[in-house]
Structure 1
């Protein structure tokens, strides 16, 4: 890099785009107010913390989590009678986009509540946990993947063997974000082997491990995974060695764990699409500021048509992906399963975000390849969205299998 690309100290002034008007039939005054509140909170409160803590691989401060709880962000989809906002996937994803624009982990932590881990059989206990979830006092972690079972969750080998009124869990989980800081860990386990002729996913169940925050219970140990991005909370490699959990902590009935995980992933994939849109939007907004700040040949580089056209294409792709995730979220709120559409929007939005944030680095020139600018963080985080909740290749498999069933399958 030449001396002419040396960065000035600090970052370019953040250029916020106007809040897009939610199109019919999605617009309502209530949604508009929620969107503005989330954007103001993200830009005024979250972004400064992200700029300070992300370079240190720091965690989301507990006081910020408490503020998010007061705003209701952990109970967006929890019924009002249980202390939540009583809203749907649309609002959940809309808020996630705004938060992820500032720091993706903050857009992600709200997924660790929303009534997660509350599907226990006892109705009184379920009501108590829903209320705790809505108030930010029941924030969890999800342990699905294993070293040899990530894309193929039917291959989960972590065992839960019944011993009286308890399960004894033994196995190895990987990529469990927020595990130590969580109030619970929702674990996909195998309670029995499939019978001959049954699907490999038969015998899987979901069990909730209740725990104290910032510690692991007896029978569970963890090692942090050192990631290149997605800072804000620690991602863990977990070893279960005889951890005991009450049988009553199993969610649903036996054998439904795989189906439950798949249903959860539909919403999770739209949520990931929304986070990806937030990251890509951040790259666009940061680039707008930089193109006006940086001068070459006695002009702001934003005067040069090649750069203007790249920015225009980036912005158009963000808008396209936003419209798509809003459409799928709306359909989920109408009760449609949308497995294919959730895979489609996850595929398109995350691949878009990886490319658009990369284009943002290019527009920043040499300065984009430094930690002095926020755009490198957006790229690091966006790159992960093409991998978690099912890689882009897994989304392609889901989509193609539903468009073109293989011979001998229905």
Structure 2
């Protein structure tokens, strides 16, 4: 998959400043990734995909994240949705994803339950005498809102017990609206906006998995993919600022003193802290992948830990980069301040860092995570 490097250098990096400055959805990047087959990275070979797993997706998301956080988050959410569709979705959509013609995403978080993404308050109601279901919702945040071809959508169960049911909702479904255009601090091109559903009609066949089975899919499929791939996105940002800061220090001179910034022990210490924190995050991410792939007993704990750790480390590393690079870091074309802003989103994306700490603490003392 060496062609990812050419896509990054020829499409993603040159567009990153524009994507950020104007809050522009990275359509060109997604088209290029689709043409290269990378939107179908997780799609089975039987439907024309690459048949790769979470480790490969993690690597791609990290590399893209180092170039453009917005594009990386869009790709992260596409892979999260694809992982669900691959297990439970219709073949035609699976084939479209594999062919690079279809971008999907998650639409789980809601105004009524906020960061508790696993507990929707929105409704699904059977339409009498029809093989149709009516969906009504106020989704609080969905990456690629108004841009994706489909949404992996949550609601309360249709006719059974359970916390949730999942649906595959077409991006152009009548009754969907997007009341607020995203204009945020960071990840400005990821189109993460609310979605309102008013009398959206879908076929019963749009149900993903079983009625009332959404929680199990979220925990066993969505959560591991989102935690690992979200951490990968921000690890890419950490790696980018660490390298850029080191490059800036190495080449910047204090002419009047006949010195460079690299001659200052304090500056070198800051760089060392950035390198250590970035490598710590990478080590935990790789161990998390090992735990998942080998079915280790601590796999769930690692899944919880990896985004919580990156949620602390990414803001710290990018702040250190701003300090090391000084006034130069504030210039848009350098890219440091963009990475600094993008890294702030990791703490508030559900499950939030504070919520993850609670889950980890519960797991450590044997309490149920969700009660």
- TM-score (normalizing by structure 1): 0.82
Distance 2:167 2:211 in 1: 10
In structure 2, the partner of 1:99 is: 64
Could you say if the C-alpha distance between residues 133 and 90 of structure 1 is closer, same or farther in structure 2, counting changes exceeding 3 Å?
same
Q: Write out per-residue CA displacement over residues 213-244 of structure 1, whole angstroms, 9 at most, x where no aligned residue.
A: xxxx3222112232111022312211111111
Q: Write out per-residue CA displacement over residues 15-72 of structure 1, whole angstroms, 9 at most, x where no aligned residue.
A: xxxxxxxxxxxxxxxxxxx3x543443244311210233112222133x322211322
RMSD of aligned residue pairs (Cα, Å): 2.3
Conservation of the 8 A alpha-carbon contact between 1:82 and 1:130? yes
SS at match of 1:206: strand
In structure 2, the partner of 1:227 is: 184
1:178 counterpart (141, 144, 155): 144
2:50 counterpart (74, 85, 88): 85
Q: Write out per-residue CA displacement over residues 70-108 of structure 1, whole angstroms, 9 at most, x where no aligned residue.
A: 322212222212211111111110111101000012222
2:85 counterpart (108, 111, 118): 118
Distance 1:315 1:39 in 2: 23
If each structure's helix is expressed as a fraction of its own residues, which one has the higher value? 2
In structure 1, the partner of 2:208 is: 251
Distance 2:7 2:157 in 1: 43
* Structure 2 unaligned residues grouped into runs of 5+: none
In structure 2, the partner of 1:31 is: none
SS at match of 2:210: coil
- TM-score (normalizing by structure 2): 0.90
Q: Write out per-residue CA displacement over residues 240-275 of structure 1, whole angstroms, 9 at most, x where no aligned residue.
A: 111111111000011111221222111210111111
In structure 1, the partner of 2:347 is: 386
* Structure 1 unaligned residues grouped into runs of 5+: 1-33, 196-201
Q: CA deviation at 1:116?
A: 4.7
In structure 1, the partner of 2:21 is: 55
Distance 2:213 2:353 in 1: 25
1:157 counterpart (111, 116, 121): 121
Q: CA deviation at 1:150?
A: 2.5
Q: Write out per-residue CA displacement over residues 318-361 of structure 1, whole angstroms, 9 at most, x where no aligned residue.
A: 12211221221233234568221111111112311111011001
2:217 counterpart (260, 281, 285): 260
Could you say if the C-alpha distance between residues 323 and 71 of structure 1 is closer, same or farther in structure 2, counting changes exceeding 3 Å?
farther
Distance 2:204 2:97 in 1: 21
Distance 1:266 1:116 in 2: 10
Distance 2:38 2:264 in 1: 42
